[in-house]
Structure 1
Amino acid sequence: MFKIILVVCLVGSAIAAGPGPEVEVLRFGSQVDNDGTYGYEYELSNGVTAQESGIGGQYANGGFRHYSPEGELIELAYSADSNGFHPVGSHLPTPPPIPEHILRAIQYIETHPTAEEQKDRQIRQQYGQ
């Protein structure tokens, strides 16, 4: 039942949106090798481009670009590996700088280890870690 409702909602929203501008595929290429390496790239007439390459299930590198409704060019490059997804783009939010008092507190904590941390350091030094 849920699937039927979902399909009806999707079809309804597509009909409500109406036909969009015609978009043509200007360039398309893809390749998949037996060793798991793959790659694809495409370019559309509305300025959208994308590409990706990698080894399935291990890592990927790629990127895409498109124009926002305001006409701004949005470009994103990314890599994905065992450490996660790593996007890079000027449109992505950046964290604020760390306040000075927090930096001082971190430095104090690093230079004044607890007794347990000192023991751990000694053990690591003893065993060459």
Structure 2
Amino acid sequence: MFKIILVTALLGFAASASIDSTAEIRSFSNVPADAEGNFAYSFDTTNGIAVQESGNIAGVTGAAQYISPEGIPVQITYKADENGYQPSGDLLPISPPIPEAIVRALAYIAAHPSQEERGQKLIVKSIPFKG
């Protein structure tokens, strides 16, 4: 399934006006899944697009690279396993640092567990209603 999405996305890139639509495939390799589910594929084009991926039922690793419309080489590597999809690359956004006040609040919460976390029972008294 992921191969289909990736190839479709790359075909979309090739169809855009900012990428050389006359690009040709320089190399292509496809190793279909064996009895254990291990597979691998890769391809490389004359306009700078290159993709490789390998894996099995336990997870996959791969990389993709291309030249942005601004002429910047973009390379993304990724891993997908029981921990989810984990991409990395210089142009991917990163989250801002956690504010110091939040870090202190989390440390305070960790140092002062609630009564339930300490194993104590909460005692709730009911007040009779007089109406």
Give the TM-score band, short-chain normalised: 0.7 to 0.9
Rounded to whole Å, the distance in 1 between the matches of 2:110 and 2:62 is 38
> How high is the sequence identity, in percent, across the aligned residues?
40
1:90-129 to structure 2, matched below 5 A, reads 90-119=90-119
Which residue number corresponds to residue 51 of structure 2?
Answer: 50
| Alignment partner, residue 60 of structure 2 | 60
Residue type at the aligned position of 1:119: G
TM-score by length of 1: 0.74
What is the TM-score of this pair, normalised by structure 2? 0.73
Unaligned runs of 5+ in 2: 1-14, 121-131
Structure 1 alignment gaps of length 5 or more:
1-13, 121-129
Shift of 1:35: 1.9
CA distance in 2 between partners of 1:64 and 1:87 (Å): 11
Alignment of 1:2-81 (within 5 A): 21-32=21-32, 33-55=34-56, 57-81=57-81
Q: CA RMSD in A?
A: 1.9
- Shift of residue 65 of structure 1? 0.2
Alignment length (residue pairs): 103
Q: Which amino acid aligns with 1:38?
A: F
Q: Say which structure is richer in helix.
A: 1
Structure 1 residue matching 2:118: 3-state secondary structure: helix
Distance of 1:119 and 1:107 partners within structure 2: 20
The whole-number CA distance in structure 2 between the counterparts of 1:42 and 1:21 is 16
Structure 2: distance between partners of 1:34 and 1:119 = 50
Aligned to 2:84: 84
- Runs ≥4 in structure 1, deviation > 4 angstroms? none
- Give the secondary-structure state (helix, strand or coil) at the position aligned to 2:36: coil
Matched residue type, 2:85 = F
Cα deviations by residue, 1:31-68 (Å, 9 ceiling, x for unpaired): 0222211000111000110000001x431100100011
- Report deviation, 1:115: 1.0
- C-alpha distance in 1 between matches for 2:21 and 2:85: 32
